[in-house]
Amino acid sequence: MKDIRNKVILITGGGSGIGRIMAFSFAEKQARVIIWDVNRDAIKTAEDEAQSKNLFIKGMICDVSNPDDVCAQAKKLTEDFGHLDILINNAGIVSHKGSNSVPGPLFLSVPDERIRKTIEINTPRFVRSVFFLRILPVQALDFAANITGISHAMDDFKGRT
């Protein structure tokens, strides 16, 4: 793996799941990791655990489906860190209420608001990455990634192991 010591890495949806795993993995390699998430408790838990391990993880409350929120947090990130080296656009909504054969609730039972929010978060990841790159101070960005559909694949894989 490339040397990422002191690189500034932003992970959307970094408070839980795959995003949290990546955050700690990068922090253990001495990167400066920023996580954006809507879950304040998840951010606090990640920050506290990182601090106890002498790792750098800073959380920021951000709803990536809200452009105004993204702009405000991007401005704060710029003020605090000056630039961004790596963007991992990981935020997504996954339902885990079913069994291995049914990964989430039946579609017809999901409230309209939940469907709307899922579409806002999960569908436009590439477009959102372009938006991030336009507003974040990216000086020679090393890497940008969109994490798409991995959580559902992981649910399928768990059932087979």
Smallest Cα–Cα separation from 77: which of 67, 97, 62, 98? 62
What total number of domains does the chain contain?
1
Assign 99 a pLDDT band (cuts: 50, 70, 90).
very low
Tell me whether residue 1 is in a domain. Answer: no
The answer to the question of residue 30 being in a domain is: yes
> pLDDT tier at 131 (50, 70, 90 boundaries)?
low
One-letter identity of residue 29: K
Which domain covers residue 52, as residue numbers? Answer: 8-158
Question: 94 CB contacts (<8 Å, ≥6 apart)?
Answer: 17, 104, 151, 152, 155
Q: What is the CATH number of the domain that holds 93?
A: 3.40.50.720
Residue with more model confidence, 25 or 103: 25
The dihedral over CA atoms of 83, 48, 155, 103, expressed in degrees to the nearest 10, equals -110
Backbone angles phi, psi at 60, to 5 degrees: -135, 130
- pTM here is 0.72
Q: Is residue 3 part of a domain?
A: no
Residue 126 in any domain: the answer is: yes
Model pLDDT for residues 58-97, shown as the tens digit of each residue: 999 998 888 888 888 888 988 899 888 888 888 876 655 5
Sequence-distant (6+) residues with CB within 8 A of 95 are: 103, 104, 105, 110
Closest CA to 33 of 16, 45, 47, 44: 47
Q: What is the pLDDT of residue 142?
A: 52
Tens of pLDDT, residue by residue over 2-60, are 789 999 999 999 999 889 999 999 999 999 999 999 999 999 999 999 999 999 999 99
Instruction: Indicate whether 130 pLDDT > 90.
Output: no
pLDDT at 154: 40
Q: Under a CB-based contact definition with an 8 Å cutoff, are residues 15 and 22 in contact? A: no
Eight-class DSSP state of 87: E
